[in-house]
Structure 1
Amino acid sequence: MRSPPAIWAPGVQVLGYTVERQLGQGGFGTVYLARCEGQPCALKLLQLMRVGERAEREVSILMRLRHPNVVGILGHGYWPVAQPQFAVIAMEYVDGRRLDMWAEEENPTARQVARVVLDVARALAAAHSDGVVHRDVKEANVMVRTSDGLAKLVDFGIGDYEGARSLTQDILPPGTVDYRSPEAWKFLRTQRDVPGARFTAGPADDLWALGLVLYPLLTARFPFDGPDAHALTEAILSSAPTPPHEANERVPRALSDVCLRLLEKTPEARTPSAHALCEALEEALRGADATWDVPLCDAYNEDSATTEGEDIDSFEQWRDRPGHRPRRGRRAVPEEWPAPPLDVDPEAGAEAPPQVTTVHAPARAARLSHAWAVLALAVVVVAMGAALMRWTPHVSNPEPTRQEVAASAKPPQAGLAAAPIGPEAIAAAVALPATLQEVSSTVTTQTTVPPSLQILSKPTKKGMRVMARAVSTAAACTALTACPGPQVRPPPPPEPCPVGAVKVMEKLDIDLGDKGDAIFEEGVPHYISVHEGPTQLILAGLWGDMPSNTVLSGRLIVRDRVYGRLTWATTPKGDSFPVCVEVYAEEGARGMAREPGDDSPSSARIFTTARVKAVSEFE
């Protein structure tokens, strides 16, 4: 059975590195933020069964490329040491953002774009001079460092170099489809039926891909378009892109010409080398004036004016409409609706306002909560007084009459919302291999109403029953001085989904909230002992388009219940992809009930049958 690629929990020691958190996940492996002797690094974990010699190829490329614009390698090895299943590559940690996220958030000027692309060109010049071809130049494989804006080219996982043995038998080498050069598409069309035909990507392919990266940086548009894949390929082969300075009047002509030269249809007409590209960019920057320091795009706001009489109601329509300068940035947050008063009759037919992301506790609710707290405190004080009156001084070593207050079982969402999330907050030093179709997604968390603010269907009666049980328990426990407080271990804290997991589940027709059946072990259902750490469940039946017997991998967290967080799926045919799945008991509660027989803090007895639920984050 194939081991999952994402199995390291925070604090795990691997080859001298201490894992802190996951940075990203792809088809063949996972990248973690780790530390060694206090220094941060990106730890790339690759499945040997899937990548084969590519891990060694990537290490050899990085070892020969020592350049400030290329991510550096710190070390490599195999894990576990006794029976290696993974290659581990420790690389420089780039604290920054992917190029596309940087452009979207910074709305850069022409000068900033030219400098970033010049950094990438210098990285390619160093690689090409050493006989190395990247073969996967794209925005996701360029990191822009936060501290100084320096760009670094990352992920040489499918790179190649002169004299290296071919690792694939396909007519085209591995790479991201949208960034293939015209000569690659032309070769595929003319040679697809020729036995043994192989297209060899060279420096010109990297330069074409960099042109495809530069054009959207200047215009916020892709240079070629078509209603389907065939039409798009035709446009790449035969259509000339609109010059960037015509698509966006703020693009300097010199920078527009550099971009168009990279997008020439033939290698002979294209910029001849990465060195020549560096010279062209440096010359353009020397002639830059004040117009190069104006943001290339307009900021997008809901109240931005459009031409009178035009019906342009979306960002996409505005961005793609000729004659208008493109926009970057996020939509403005809609204005919040006021919270409805609590004394409105929900059955009176009043229209409920739309939900908003920020929840305000009404003053009345706060007063009611305060009143309940005062009442509970008063009852507890009375009970403590009664216990003290019954206490006699001849009792030796009395138990302390202090009631410990357990922490809330579920951490508030406000703390999670305050933390940065998504790719814009994940500084990865290296992207993952693109030999499988890339799935990009923003990791998001849904803002939910904290439990204390949720309006229950029958708040008064239920609240009184709960309060009565709590007060009576507290009073009894205080009166009987030998009654200890419950030792409650709270559920695990929230955690984001792996990158791309939600989109993958959507493509498999698995909606958020959908549940499927799974088992920990095959055979007649029975009790088993489990330990905190890596785990695997087997899907018992078809779940959306995910086939039966798919292995769901992740980890178990032992608390008062046993929680399971599954982040990777492997089908019976061997296809692997990220998922975001939580383990539920058959009776419907999150996590598995602990069965009698094991009270250990790190292990438990559970039943072998379970339910799995698709989620957008681990609560």
Structure 2
Amino acid sequence: MSSPPRQPCPEAASPDALVPGTVLGPWRLSGQVGRGTYGAVYRAEREGGGAAKGALKLALHPRDERFEREADLLSRIRHPRVPRLLGRGEWVGGPWNMPYPYLVMEWVEGMPLYDWARLRSPTSRQVLQILAQLAQALEATHRAKGLHRDVKGDNVLVGPKGEAWLMDFGCGTYVGARPLTEGPLAPGTRLYRSPQALRHLWTHRKRGGAYSASAEDDVYALGVMAYRVVTGTHPPPGTDLEAKQVRRQGGRAGRPPAHVLNRWVSPELSALIERMLADGPSQRGDASEWAEVLERVAARAGAAADLPLEGAVERVAPEVHAAARSRDVPRWRGGALAVPAGVVAGAYLVIALSAPYIPDESWMALPDAGLEEQGRIGLADAAAETSSLFMIGHGTAEASRSAVTLDMPKGPLKGQKRPPCRPRWEVEVNKACWSQVGTVSPPCGAEGYEWKGFCYMPVIAPERPNTSDGR
């Protein structure tokens, strides 16, 4: 496809400083609306009286080949949850009068997903409906033999009627596209990387070798995003072998399910998020399955799915929220935070420090609780099989409750931190340091401990540094 002729614009000093009224090809800019690592986004209108409005994304670096690949990928996708590609071209300017590629996408009205969740305090059913739309967008992308590779809340817009769009395919690729970067991983956001991608990064940190991303990586990122929406924080990385601080028990990462951090998350939604975050790629299912399952679950979910997630702020852990001092964990403001930063930090500290550090290659024999060897499991079946586990905190039978509640041990666990217990969110119980999970009542999940009617996680002492000179 031939590109429109280059449009010189000598009065502009840089691509992120174009003034309203600047014309690029058939598009007239009316103002800048955003700026990212690789591009500046402008609102644009088609010249000549046309009614079309677009979002024009202009490269910040001359001859950036990412823009051609993004445009090629968007031209292959036809779906209402993905903005249409309206045009492409080049702007010539900057200090050295160089060509900067641009592309124009359909203009959509909406707000970023995490802002939407913070301001609207959605229910679990509404979150399920949003996820279903995004799964449909991913299905269309994968059907076009493409990958998004940067699914996250910043790249999702939600409209006033709950319609969602998957945005920014700048990190995307498709079958047959030429690789544009060197190194183990393609551009993306680390918090949303799959366990397989992080393991590859670790094993190839010295000898190179590019990771081959798959559709299951996009599904995993969808799960990370969903977890962030309903809990207010990202789940711990699927594996963090650079720091060698992953907690492993029975081949599974120690991640509190979403409903443990926010008791207003419906059991159905919590179970499905866990399935998206499964360690084994084949256990996550594909986007087409997710589109169908999420729609069905959203339609059939019980009354718990209609409780606003906002309730967790005022009713789960108000006193701990007042005492929180952590600046390292993202904190929602405005009423949609599922659990305060101090509580999240306490619950997650155990994930990084609750077991002896693993040796360099020990991750290689860590299947997803044996499921990987059994082949793909249908998502609907998986949700049904796990529903009893994720009913905790939502009125399950007493027998099920006792099955996921651990009594407080009479002494410190192996490797657990002992007094003095600091900072202030650590609690001393039976000569050991513990972190209270908000004011969540038992059952506490498979890895939580009950004490005086509340749930606690052990705080593990950091490993002592090796002071010898041996190598």
- Judge same fold: TM > 0.5, yes or no: yes
Residue 312 of structure 1 deviates from its aligned partner by: 4.7
Residue identity opposite 1:22 in structure 2: Q
Instruction: State whether structure 2 residue 59 is matched by structure 1 residue 59.
Output: no
Instruction: State whether structure 2 residue 226 is matched by structure 1 residue 198.
Output: no
CA 1:141–1:250 in 2, change beyond 3 Å: closer, same or farther? Answer: same
Mapped to 1, the partners of 2:99 and 2:268 lie a distance apart of 51
Listed as ranges, the matches of 1:170-249 within 5 Å are 170-195=183-208, 197-224=209-236, 230-231=242-243, 234=246, 239-249=253-263
Contact 1:5–1:28 under 8 Å retained in 2:
no
Task: Identify the match of residue 45 of structure 2 among 35, 46, 51.
Answer: 35
Instruction: State whether structure 2 residue 287 is matched by structure 1 residue 274.
Output: yes
Residue identity opposite 1:59 in structure 2: A
Residue 87 of structure 1 deviates from its aligned partner by: 1.0
Residue 288 of structure 1 deviates from its aligned partner by: 1.7
Instruction: Count residues in correspondence.
Output: 316
Task: Identify the match of residue 179 of structure 2 among 146, 166, 173.
Answer: 166
Mapped to 2, the partners of 1:213 and 1:306 lie a distance apart of 23
Mapped to 2, the partners of 1:296 and 1:143 lie a distance apart of 19
Listed as ranges, the matches of 1:313-324 within 5 Å are 313=322
Residue 189 of structure 1 deviates from its aligned partner by: 1.5
Contact 2:63–2:100 under 8 Å retained in 1:
no
Residue 249 of structure 1 deviates from its aligned partner by: 1.9
Residue 169 of structure 1 deviates from its aligned partner by: 1.6
Instruction: State whether structure 2 residue 15 is matched by structure 1 residue 20.
Output: no
Residue identity opposite 1:31 in structure 2: V
CA shift digits 1:196-255 (9 cap, x unpaired): x111111111111111000122222322279x9955973699623112222222212111
Task: Identify the match of residue 283 of structure 1 among 296, 300, 306.
Answer: 296
Residue 278 of structure 1 deviates from its aligned partner by: 1.4
Task: Identify the match of residue 166 of structure 2 among 153, 156, 175.
Answer: 153
Mapped to 1, the partners of 2:316 and 2:125 lie a distance apart of 27
* Largest Rg, 1 or 2: 1
CA 1:312–1:91 in 2, change beyond 3 Å: closer, same or farther? Answer: closer
Contact 1:298–1:327 under 8 Å retained in 2:
no
Q: Which residue of 2 aligns with 1:10?
A: 20
Q: Which residue of 2 aligns with 1:79?
A: 91
Contact 2:33–2:42 under 8 Å retained in 1:
yes
Task: Identify the match of residue 103 of structure 1 among 110, 117, 127.
Answer: 117
SS at match of 2:62: helix
Mapped to 1, the partners of 2:171 and 2:237 lie a distance apart of 27
CA 1:317–1:107 in 2, change beyond 3 Å: closer, same or farther? Answer: farther
Residue identity opposite 2:149 in structure 1: R
Deviates more, 1:237-246 or 1:275-284: 237-246
CA shift digits 1:132-181 (9 cap, x unpaired): 000100000001122x2210001111111112111112111111122111
Mapped to 2, the partners of 1:282 and 1:306 lie a distance apart of 31
CA shift digits 1:30-58 (9 cap, x unpaired): 0011212343211111145262x211111
Contact 1:28–1:50 under 8 Å retained in 2:
no
Mapped to 1, the partners of 2:102 and 2:140 lie a distance apart of 25
Residue 266 of structure 1 deviates from its aligned partner by: 1.9
CA shift digits 1:357-390 (9 cap, x unpaired): xxxxxxxxxxxxxxxxxxxxxxxxxxxxxxxxxx
Residue 305 of structure 1 deviates from its aligned partner by: 10
Residue 317 of structure 1 deviates from its aligned partner by: 7.0
Mapped to 2, the partners of 1:188 and 1:254 lie a distance apart of 33
Residue 117 of structure 1 deviates from its aligned partner by: 0.8
Per the normalisation by structure 2, the TM-score is 0.61
Q: Which residue of 2 aligns with 1:468?
A: none
Contact 1:21–1:33 under 8 Å retained in 2:
yes
Contact 2:63–2:99 under 8 Å retained in 1:
no
CA 1:315–1:159 in 2, change beyond 3 Å: closer, same or farther? Answer: same
CA 1:314–1:8 in 2, change beyond 3 Å: closer, same or farther? Answer: farther
Deviates more, 1:129-138 or 1:165-174: 165-174
Mapped to 2, the partners of 1:328 and 1:294 lie a distance apart of 19
Residue 293 of structure 1 deviates from its aligned partner by: 1.8
Contact 1:122–1:275 under 8 Å retained in 2:
yes
Mapped to 2, the partners of 1:113 and 1:48 lie a distance apart of 37
Instruction: State whether structure 2 residue 372 is matched by structure 1 residue 329.
Output: no
Mapped to 1, the partners of 2:277 and 2:322 lie a distance apart of 32
Structure 1 spans left out of the alignment, 5+ residues: 321-325, 332-619
CA 1:316–1:266 in 2, change beyond 3 Å: closer, same or farther? Answer: farther
CA 1:188–1:229 in 2, change beyond 3 Å: closer, same or farther? Answer: closer
CA 1:54–1:274 in 2, change beyond 3 Å: closer, same or farther? Answer: same
CA RMSD for the aligned pairs? Answer: 3.2
Mapped to 2, the partners of 1:94 and 1:232 lie a distance apart of 43
Q: Which residue of 1 aligns with 2:357?
A: none
Instruction: State whether structure 2 residue 103 is matched by structure 1 residue 89.
Output: yes
Q: Which residue of 2 aligns with 1:118?
A: 132
Residue 116 of structure 1 deviates from its aligned partner by: 0.6
Residue identity opposite 1:329 in structure 2: G
Contact 2:264–2:312 under 8 Å retained in 1:
no
CA shift digits 1:541-561 (9 cap, x unpaired): xxxxxxxxxxxxxxxxxxxxx
